[in-house]
Amino acid sequence: MAHKAEYEDQIALYSLGLLEGGELIEIERHLAEGCEICESMLKDSDTVFTNLPLCLDDAPLPKDLEKKILDRLEVREPARGRSSIFDFWRNLSPVWLNLGTAVSLAIIIFLVVTNISLRDDLKIREKSLTDLQAKLVKEEKMLAFVMNPDVNEVELGSKMPDMEAAGKLLWDKETNKGLFLVSSIPLPEQGKTYQLWAIEGGKPVSMGVFDVDKEGNSMMEIELMPGPAESMQFAVTLEPAGGMPQPTGDMYLYGSL
């Protein structure tokens, strides 16, 4: 298919994704046949729209091409009154209009996409900051317990073969609050959770259930510990999700005062 002058206008529209129907089919067929002129123009157009800050052209587009772009972008029957993209362009500052309609449109698209990208990046950073703040709060609580001279420590060792997990219960005798730390415990299977028990006189009392991170670590706050006793044991068992009123699963950690 021989090169035609009208293809030069269509190349700009094609680069912006504004061609439709028969025109789109025709220009794609023409490009597939290897027209060097149109391929060069398409490459130049793509470069302009990809590298906007470096490729602005002050020369306006041909009037007929500008009209085609505006006609395709016109908003039809909006919910409130009748307006068109032409009104939008007409209200823009002369500086923007002098850039050429197609380039100005590309700049606006570029700015919108950049704005969306920045918002997404901000959300990711905000979530990361929130996670870091939560981690800092946990570490501050742990430090406060460790530095408190009134805190008892109970070490819980592994009760499973070939398991290197360990636990530590920090018990504030003044406030009767506790902080339970566990490390390197296996990830529970789906539908299961770990549960901490205080055992006095052979009677277990639940201290709560806890999840672990991918490294098998966790920290659980205990708002009310049982009254201190001369002899008390603590254990961690694997239970159905939500916990049980009495231990039913395998014991993973165990320790005593």
Within this chain, do residues 106 and 162 fall inside the same structural domain, yes or no?
Answer: no
Q: What is the pLDDT of residues 193-209, one digit of tens each?
A: 999 999 988 899 999 99
Q: Is the pTM of this model over 0.75?
A: no
At residue 72, the pLDDT reads: 57
Residues 107 and 12 placed together within one structural domain of the fold: yes
Of 222 and 81, which is predicted with more confidence? 222
58: Cβ contacts below 8 Å, ≥ 6 apart: 98, 99, 100
What range defines the domain where residue 98 resides?
A: 5-113
77 pLDDT above the threshold of 50: no
222 contact partners, CB below 8 Å, separation of at least 6: 177, 178, 179, 180, 196, 207, 208
Q: Are residues 9 and 109 in the same domain?
A: yes
What average pLDDT does the chain have?
Answer: 77
- Asked if residue 98 and residue 12 are part of one domain, the reply reads yes
* 101 and 156 share one domain: no
The enclosing domain of 191 has a CATH number of 2.60.40
How do residues 99-140 score in pLDDT, each as one tens digit?
Answer: 455 555 555 565 656 666 777 777 888 888 888 888 788 778
Whether residues 84 and 170 fall in one domain:
no
Whether residue 90 lies inside any domain: the answer is: yes
| Least confidently predicted of 8-12, 35-39, 82-86, 204-208 | 82-86
Q: Provide the number of structural domains found in the chain.
A: 2
**Would you say 66 and 60 are in contact if contact means Cβ atoms under 8 Å apart?**
yes
CA dist 206 and 235 (Å) reads 10
Q: Tens digits of per-residue pLDDT, 176-196?
A: 888 899 999 999 999 999 999
